[in-house]
Structure 1
Amino acid sequence: MFDGVAKGYDRTNSVMTLGFDRRWREWSRRVLDARAGEKVLDLAAGTAVSTVEYAASGAWCVAADFSIGMLLGGRHRDVPKVAADALRLPFADNAFDAVTVSFGLRNFNDTEAALREMARVVKPGGRLVVCEVSTPTFRPFRFVYMRYLLKILPFIGRFVSSNPEAYQYLAESMRTWPEQRALAEIVAKAGWEDVAWMNLTFGMVALHRATKPAESGEPAEATKPAEAAKPAQTLEGE
Structure 2
Amino acid sequence: MSTNTQHDQDTPQEAVLASSNPEQASHKTDFGFSQVDASQKADMVADVFHSVAAKYDVMNDLMSMGVHRLWKRYTIDCSGVRAGQKVLDLAGGTGDLAAKFSRIVGNKGQVILADINHSMLNVGKEKLLNMGILGNLHYVQANAEALPFPDNHFDLITIAFGLRNVTDKSKALASMYRVLKPGGRLLVLEFSKPTTQALSKVYDAYSFYLLPQMGKLVANDSESYRYLAESIRMHPDQDTLEQMMKDVGFEQTSYTNLTGGIVALHRGFKF
Fold shared by both chains (TM-score > 0.5): yes
The SS at the match of 2:104 is coil
1:106 counterpart residue number? 164
Once the two structures are superposed, the pairs formed by residues 1-238 of structure 1 within 5 Å of their partners are 1=47, 2-58=49-105, 59-76=109-126, 77=128, 78=133, 79-146=137-204, 148-152=205-209, 153-161=211-219, 163-212=221-270, 214=271
Q: 2: CA distance between counterparts of 1:141 and 1:36? A: 40
- Out of 172-181 and 101-110, give the one that drifted further: 172-181
Q: How far has the Cα of 1:165 moved from its partner?
A: 2.0
Distance between the aligned counterparts of 2:54 and 2:72, measured in 1? 20
Give the gaps of 5 or more residues in structure 2.
1-46
What root-mean-square deviation, in Å, do the aligned CA atoms of Structure 1 and Structure 2 show? 1.2
Segments of 5+ residues of structure 1 without an aligned counterpart are 215-238
3-state SS in 2 of match to 1:203: coil
Q: Do the aligned residues in 2 keep the contact of 1:5 with 1:162 (CA within 8 Å)? A: no
Q: Separation in 2 of the partners of 1:29 and 1:163?
A: 31
Shift of 1:47: 1.3
State the 1:162 CA deviation: 5.3
TM-score, normalised to structure 1, is 0.86
2:110 is matched by which residue type in structure 1? W
Q: What amino acid sits opposite 2:69 in the alignment? A: R
Is contact 1:131-1:208 (8 Å) kept?
yes
SS of 1:37's equivalent in the other structure is coil
| Of 112-121 and 171-180, the range deviating more from structure 2 | 171-180
SS, match of residue 98 in structure 1: strand
Residue 42 (structure 1) shift? 0.3
Q: What is the deviation of 1:11?
A: 0.9
Once the two structures are TM-superposed, the CA of residue 140 in structure 1 deviates from its matched residue by: 1.2
Deviation at 1:150, TM superposition (A): 1.7
2:125 aligned counterpart, secondary structure? coil
Q: CA deviation at 1:189?
A: 1.0
Q: 2:269 is aligned with what amino acid?
A: T
Task: Please tell me whether the aligned partners of residues 135 and 204 of structure 1 are also in contact (alpha carbons under 8 angstroms).
Answer: yes
Identity score, percent: 42
Aligned length: 212
Residue of structure 2 equivalent to 1:222: none
The equivalent of 1:218 in structure 2 is: none
Counterpart Cα distance in 2 of 1:51 and 1:163: 27
1:89 aligned partner, one-letter code? L
For normalisation by structure 2, the TM-score amounts to 0.75
Q: Which segment is superposed worse, 182-191 or 101-110?
A: 182-191
Write the letter of the residue equivalent to 2:147. L
> Which aligned segments of 4 or more residues in structure 1 are displaced greater than 6 angstroms?
none
* Separation in 2, partners of 1:87, 1:53: 25
CA distance in 2, matches of 1:169, 1:100: 23
